Amino acid sequence: MERRSDRRWILQIVLMVWAVIQLFPLYWLFAFSLKSNEEIFGENIIGLPHQFLWKNYETAIIGANIGRFFINSVIVVGCTVILTSIISLFASYALCRMRWKLSKVFLGLLMIGLMIPMHAALLPVMLMLKHMNLLGGYLSLIIPYTAFAIPMTLLIFIGFLSGIPVELEEAACIDGCNIYQMVFKVIFPLMKPAVATAGIFTFVNCWNELMFANTFVNSTEYKTLTTGIQTLAGQYNTTWGPIGAALVLATFPTIMIYILLAKQVQKSLVLGAVKG
Amino acid sequence: MGKLLQNKKAIFLFMAPAVLFFAVIVVAPVFLSGYYSLLEWDGMGEKIFVGFDNYARLFTDSGDKFLLALKNSLMIAVFSLLIQLPMGMLFAIILSNGVRGERFFITIFFIPVIISTVAIGQLWGKIYHPDYGLLNTLLRNVGFDRLTRAWLGDKETVLAAVITPIIWQYIGYYMLLFYSSIKSVSADLFDAAKIDGASRIQTAFRITIPLIKPMIKTCLIFSLVGSFKTYDMVCVLTDGGPAHASEVPTTLMVWTIFKRNQYGYGSAMAVIIVLICFSLYLLVQKFFKADNE
């Protein structure tokens, strides 16, 4: 019996050590985002800051445009999530419930689409956007992000929709609803949990996306956080405090959402993987 | 009801936006990349049809580093198979066995997954900094001055230095996938094993792992395909340098297209990346199918 509880303790310690390894870089980031160069580079490398230098945040937000990049990310990701949800809601209903010949074919194509890496689309999409004079603006990111988010969102929606009993729709039909009223008034309100699941998945992916953001948008006016930070890191490579502050600000929203909705976020990402 | 669901106009309206986005932005580019890959083209001048020359060049011109980039991706795949997946599995098995603070650990271990790779990359860049980085400072403090070096600037160490955070970041992801899959297996089976006197290790190998095979397949596909699609971490830490030592196919592709303006040659790389991803997917599927028979 004693040996058993010994082993338990060892396991517990292993888990604690790994937790520290996972969290330490984040702690270190938060600590140096509030330090001066003297502290970071010499006297106090890993401790908490002696003097909390909130000025680093001011420098990052105003001096280095992180505020602007943050707003851009919110606009791009927000529009992508909303647009993807609306488009996929309609399509999932047509694919899952409505009767037409090619529905199976479309579903099969979408499954294949899940495996197409974004990298393959980089140059052709860039040329298309250039032709349409959209390169460099918000739409140059919203359009490709939405397109690549649709297959996964659709699969999550279809999975959810097939679990909703048809009786509700039959009742609505008897009450004289037409197809549009039925979809808007009966189905969409029921789909809220699926929208949340897929939305989180899309949010995390787009918020962190780098390749398209890096190649399609060049101006400070429209840059999102991922590219913004890259630029900032180049500019401030000798003063780490403001970079740290920018990194904290960039990761803050995903971490907040994660802490508030840990279970829901985990569910989204697991579902995303399993469907993929 | 039946008539309602056969409303052709509604079907068209519902499907059109999704199909449009999907066909134009996801499907068409694959074919366009295939077409561009047969050209010699700098994006502005004339398009010269060169057949499969670009592909031949990918595998013969050692100065262009494509083979090296593939080898680097392969290294990421190998380490991910040898370290990432087993560690994810180990934590999943330990945590699903009921330890104190199960949810707490799951939540903590998953945190690096949701943080952007750009932020994590910047952070590790600071850890590796030759003068002020944590790693060298630590080595100096314990008296190993000789081991300190510019981890990302040294051709010998750069690949290992880039692979480490890639592996580290996603261990939590595989842990969560395995964990949720183990949790969906009926608890009765584990109870029965316990009653029969199976040890923890026996239970893991004889019951847990065989039962979550579908998830193992998913994770294998993810980690293999993911290794050949790696971009973010390399872009942030080294952008392929020094002297292309840490190049992966995607970073090389971006560099070829946007820095060298070789649209055709870069597209050939894109096509190879797609082909590799599809083949790995089919290979893993086939491997598991054969295993089942």
Q: Of the ranges A191-205, A234-248, B142-156, which is most confident?
A: A191-205
pLDDT (0 to 100) of residue A276: 52
Chain A with chain B: Cβ pairs closer than 8 A: 246
Residue A8 lies in a domain: no
Does the distance separating the beta carbons of B108 and A19 come in below 8 Å?
Answer: yes
Residue A181 lies in a domain: yes
pLDDT tens profile A158-192: 999 988 888 888 888 888 888 888 888 889 999 99
**Is residue A1's pLDDT more than 50?**
no
Q: Give B176's contacts in chain A (Cβ within 8 Å).
A: 266, 269-270
pLDDT tens profile B222-247: 899 999 999 999 999 999 889 899 99
Q: How many domains would you assign to chain A?
A: 1
Q: Give A151's contacts in chain B (Cβ within 8 Å).
A: 22, 26
Choice between A52 and A6, residue whose per-residue pLDDT is larger: A52
Distance CA B33, CA B177 (A): 34
Decide the pairing of beta strands B39-40 and B48-49: antiparallel
pLDDT (0 to 100) of residue B17: 95
Any idea where the domains of chain B sit in the sequence?
33-292
The CATH number of residue A90's host domain is 1.10.3720.10
ipTM: 0.89
pLDDT (0 to 100) of residue A3: 59
* Structural domain that includes position A139: 66-275
Does the distance separating the beta carbons of A28 and B110 come in below 8 Å?
Answer: no
Q: One-letter amino acid identity for A252? A: F
pLDDT (0 to 100) of residue A251: 87
Buried/exposed A165-192: b ≥16 CB within 10 Å, e otherwise: eeeebeebbeeebebeebbeebbbeebe
**Is residue A111's pLDDT more than 90?**
no
What one-character-per-residue DSSP string does chain A give? -HHHHHHHHHHHHHHHHHHHHHHHHHHHHHHHTT--HHIIIII-SSS--SS--THHHHIIIIIT-HHHHHHHHHHHHHHHHHHHHHHHHHHHHHHHTS--TTHHHHHHHHHHHTTS-GGGGHHHHHHHHHHTT-TTSTHHHHHHHHHHHHHHHHHHHHHHHTTS-THHHHHHHHTT--HHHIIIIIIHHHTHHHHHHHHHHHHHHHHT--HHHHHH--STTT--HHHHHHHHHHHTTT-HHHHHHHHHHHHHHHHHHHHHTHHHHHHHHHHHHHH-
Residues pairing with B40 in the sheet: B48
Q: Give the mean pLDDT of B130-142.
A: 86
Does the distance separating the beta carbons of B30 and A120 come in below 8 Å?
Answer: yes
Which of A117, A147, A262 lies nearest to residue B273, judging by beta carbons?
Answer: A117
**Is residue A271's pLDDT more than 50?**
yes
* Whether domain B33-292 has CATH 1.10.3720.10: yes
pLDDT (0 to 100) of residue A185: 87
B143: helix, strand or coil: coil
pLDDT (0 to 100) of residue A275: 59
Does the distance separating the beta carbons of B15 and A91 come in below 8 Å?
Answer: yes
